[in-house]
Amino acid sequence: MMASDVPAHVPGELVRETYPFIMGGQTSQNPFNSMVPALHDGPDLIYSTNFYPGFQPVWIPRRLETLQALYMDTEHFSSEAFSPFPMLIGENWSLVPVEIDPPAHSMYRTLLNPLFTPARMRALEDRVREAARDSIAKFKDGDECEFMGAFALRFPIIVFLDLMGLPRERMEQFLEWEFMLLHSLDIEDVARGTRLSVDYLREVIEDRRKNPGDDLVSFAVTATVEGRKLNDDELIGLCFNLFIGGLDTVSTNIAWQIRHLAEHPADQRRLRADPSLIPAAVEEMYRRYAAVTTFRTCIKQTSLHGVTIMPGDKIAMPTTLANTDPAAWERPFDVDFDRTPRHITFAYGIHRCIGAPLARRESVMAIEELLAAIPEFRVAEGEELITELGPILQPKNLPLVWGERNSRREVSAAKPQPAEVSQAGEKRVGPSIEDVKSFLSAKLGSLAPFNKVIAMHLDDDQILLDGTVNPPKLVDLVACNIDVTVRARLRA
Ligand code: HEM
C-alpha cells in the first residue's frame, strides 16, 4: 500500500511507509536501544502501511495505558484470526484460547488455568532444571558458545516436549518446523511447517485418546467443558497455541536476558554475588526487552487518541513500546533490578499469557544454571550480533566467550579444542546424517537454514550439504572452526 492509497479516516500525518520492525528485516544494532527510543519521539499512534502479517496496513500505538485499554476492550477489538496458520493449510480452526473472544474465551481459561499455576510449574522444576543443566553441560568445559543454538533455541523445546508428553528425540524436528512457521518469508514454507506440525500433533491427540498419560495432551482429550469433550478443532487449536506460544517467545527473552548480562558485567556480578536477586532481575529484563507484538481487529467503530478506528482496521499490540513508554516509567531504558515493574510483556486482561509462570521459571533457571556453570561471560569480540525483526525481535546469534578467550575465532592456546571440533577434524562426527546434523546445529545455532537439506553426508574431509542453504549462514559455518570443507548446492 502506498501512502496515497490509505483510507480516508486515516490522518496523513500518522502514516508511515517504513516501520523499523518490519517482518523480514534484520539489524546489527540493538533495536531496543536504537529503534525504540526514536518511536517514542513520534506520535502516540501511527498507521504503518505494511507491518501487519502479509505486509498489510495496521495501527500501532506506543503508550502503556493505550495498550492496557486495548487489551481490556473486547467490545471494539477482536482477537479472532490474527494468525495465518490454519488458513494457510486450508483449515478453519482457531488458536485456543488466544484467538477466542469472550464469552467463549473464559470457558477455555477455566479449563486451562489449573494446569499452569505456579504450584504446577514448581512440580515441573526438576525436569526443567535438568534440561537446562544438560544443555549447558555440552559447552561449559570449553570457553565459548553460540548461545542461541547451544541453549536458547533448544531449551524451551525440551520443556514443551516434556509438558506435552512427547519424546525429547523429536527436538530437531520441532526446531525445523518452528523455524519454517515463524521465521520463513516463503509462504509455502510457512504452510509446510504448519502442515507438518499439525499432522504430527493430530497423531499425538489420537494416540492419547487411546493411551492417556499424565501429560497436557492427555488432559485435553479427557477434559470436559460445559458437559462435553473438546472437539477435534478445539484440540488442535489448543496444542498448536501451546506449540507456537511457548517456544520462540521463551528463546528470545532468555537470549536478550543473557545478552544483557554479557554486556553489563556489573549486573552479572551482582547476580553472581546474590543469586536470590535473579527473579527480580528477570522481571526487570522482561520489561526492558519485551519482544512480542500480537494483533487485534476492530469490530466496532471507535476512536483512539482522537482518531477514528473503523471496523476491519488492524491494531498492533507492541509490548516492546508500551514497556518503555516514557510517560509510564522513570528512566525507561535503564535496567534497574530494584524496580519491581508491573510490565505487560505477558499481556494484560483476559488473554494475559497462561504460560507466564513457566516462562519465568525457565528464565530464572537458565540464568541460575549458567552463572553456576561458567565464569563471567562476555559477547565475543569481532562478531556482529544480528536481530531478526518482525512481530518478535529475535536474536539470530549470540556468541559468548569466557575465561582467557576474547573472540570465537581465535584458537585458545590454554585449552584444548572442544571435543566436538577435534572429532570433526578427525572425521569422527558420526556416521549418520543425524549425527552430522546435531554436530552442526550445536556449532551453528539452528539447523533451520538447512531445513531443506535433501542429503548430507561426510565425504573424506567434506561435509556435503545438498539442498537450499542460506548463504550468510554458510559464512558462519566456515568461520566456526570446523576443520572440514563445506560444499552446498543452492537450489533455485
Ligand atoms: C517469555 C515468554 C512468553 C511471552 C513473552 C509470552 C507472551 C504472550 C502474550 C503477549 C500473550 C497475549 C497475546 C494476545 O492476547 O494477543 C500470550 C498469550 C498466551 N501465551 Fe504466552 N508468552 C510466553 C510464554 C508462553 C509459554 C511458555 C506458553 C505455554 C506453555 C505460552 C502460552 C500462551 C497461551 C496459551 C496464550 C493465550 C492466552 C489466552 O488467550 O488466554 N506462552 N503470551
- Residues 72-94 have pLDDT tens digits of 999 999 999 888 899 999 999 99
For residues 479 and 409, the answer to whether their CB atoms sit within 8 Å is yes
Q: How would residue 464 be classed by pLDDT, with cut points 50, 70 and 90?
A: very low
Q: Is the CB of 358 under 6 A from ligand 1?
A: yes
Structure confidence by residue, pLDDT tens digits, 51-75: 998 889 999 999 999 999 999 999 9
Distance CA 468, CA 445 (A): 17
Q: Compute, in angstroms, the gap from residue 343 CA to the centroid of ligand 1.
A: 14
CA–CA distance, 129 with 149 (Å, rounded to integer): 18
CB 238 within 8 A of CB 230: yes
Question: Which of 106, 297, 353, 392 should be mutated for ligand 1, with most atoms under 8 A from CB?
Answer: 353
Report the C-alpha gap between 345 and 327 in whole angstroms.
Answer: 17
Evaluate: CB of 253 within 6 angstroms of ligand 1.
Answer: yes
Half-sphere exposure of 14 (CA within 13 A, CB side): 23
Cell of 288: 526492558
Read off the pLDDT of residues 254-282 as tens digits, 9 standing for 90 and up: 999 999 999 999 999 999 999 999 999 99
User: Rounded to whole angstroms, what are the CA distances from 480 to 250, 259, 384?
Assistant: 26, 20, 14
Q: What is the model's pLDDT at position 439?
A: 59
- Looking at residue 415, its pLDDT comes to 39
What DSSP designation does 9 have? T
* One-letter amino acid of 123: A
Nearest residue CA, atom 11 of ligand 1?
A: 353
Q: Indicate which atom in ligand 1 lies nearest the CA of residue 344.
A: 10
- Is the CB of residue 447 less than 8 Å from the CB of residue 470? no
Q: If you measure from the C-alpha of residue 129 to the centroid of ligand 1, how many angstroms do you get, rounded to a whole number? A: 21
Tell me phi and psi for residue 237, to 5 degrees.
Answer: -60, -40
Q: All domains of the chain, ordered by start, with CATH?
A: 1-415 (1.10.630.10), 421-489 (no CATH)
Ligand 1 centroid to Cα of residue 247, in Å, is 10
- Confirm or reject: Cβ of 322 under 6 Å from ligand 1: no
Q: Do you find a cis peptide bond into 279, omega within 30 degrees of 0?
A: no
Q: Which pLDDT score, from 0 to 100, does residue 367 have?
A: 98
Higher pLDDT, residue 124 or 152: 152
What is the residue with the minimal CA distance to atom 40 of ligand 1?
Answer: 98
Residue 387: helix, strand or coil by DSSP? strand
Ligand 1 within 6 A of CB of 317:
yes
Q: How far is the CA of 154 from the centre of ligand 1 (A)?
A: 18
* pLDDT per residue as tens digits for the range 357-399: 999 999 999 999 999 999 999 999 988 999 999 999 999 999 9
Predicted confidence (pLDDT) per residue in 133-167, tens digit? 999 999 999 999 999 999 999 999 999 888 888 88
Q: Is ligand 1 within 6 A of the CB of residue 473? A: no
* Residue nearest (by alpha carbon) to ligand 1 atom 9: 346
pLDDT at residue 2, as a whole number: 62
According to DSSP, the β-strands at 485-489 and 45-52 are unpaired
Interval between CA 244 and ligand 1 midpoint (Å): 9
Angle 304-99-177 (CA atoms, 0-180°, nearest 5)? 120
Pairwise CA distance, residues 203 & 198, whole Å: 9
The CB of 238 under 6 Å from ligand 1? The reply is no
> Is pLDDT of 487 > 80?
no
- 353 Cβ inside 6 Å of ligand 1: yes
Question: Whose alpha carbon is nearest atom 27 of ligand 1?
Answer: 246
Q: Is 109 in the pocket of ligand 1 (CB under 6 A)?
A: yes
Question: What's the gap in Å between 130 CA and the centre of ligand 1?
Answer: 24
Ligand 1 pocket, 477 CB below 6 A?
no
CA of 71 relative to ligand 1 center, distance in Å = 13
| Angle at the Cα of 53 from the Cα atoms of 164 and 101, rounded to 5 degrees | 60
Work out which ligand 1 atom sits closest to the CA atom of 116: 30
Strand partners, 458: 463
Residue 66 in contact with residue 43, Cβ under 8 Å?
no
Q: Three cell numbers at 331? A: 528512566
Given this model, what pLDDT does residue 315 score?
98
Q: For residue 449, what pLDDT is reported?
A: 45
With a 6 Å cutoff on the Cβ, whether 363 touches ligand 1 is no
CB 27 less than 6 A from any atom of ligand 1: no
Question: Helices 155-164 & 171-183, crossing angle to 10 degrees?
Answer: 110
pLDDT for 186 equals 82
Cα 127 to middle of ligand 1, angstroms: 21
pLDDT above 90 covers what percent of the chain?
A: 64
* φ, ψ of residue 23 in degrees (nearest 5): -55, 135
pLDDT, position 123: 78
- Name the residue with the closest Cα to ligand 1, atom 17: 353
Gap from CA of 242 to ligand 1 centroid (Å): 8
- Share the mean pLDDT of the chain: 84
Residues making up the chain, counted from first to last: 492
Q: What does the pLDDT read at residue 115? A: 85
- Cβ(320) to ligand 1 under 6 A? no
Cβ of residue 319 lying under 6 Å from some atom of ligand 1 = yes
For residue 441, the model assigns a pLDDT of 61
Look at residue 426 and tell me whether its pLDDT is greater than 50: no
| pLDDT at residue 465 greater than cutoff 80 | no
Confirm or reject: Cβ of 237 under 6 Å from ligand 1.
no
CA 227 to chain centre: 36
Ligand 1 center to residue 186 CA distance, Å? 25
Confidence band, pLDDT 50/70/90 cuts, at residue 409: low
Tell me if 242 CB under 6 Å of ligand 1.
yes
Distance (angstroms) between ligand 1 centre and the Cα of 108 equals: 14
**Spacing, Cα 63 to ligand 1 middle (Å):** 20
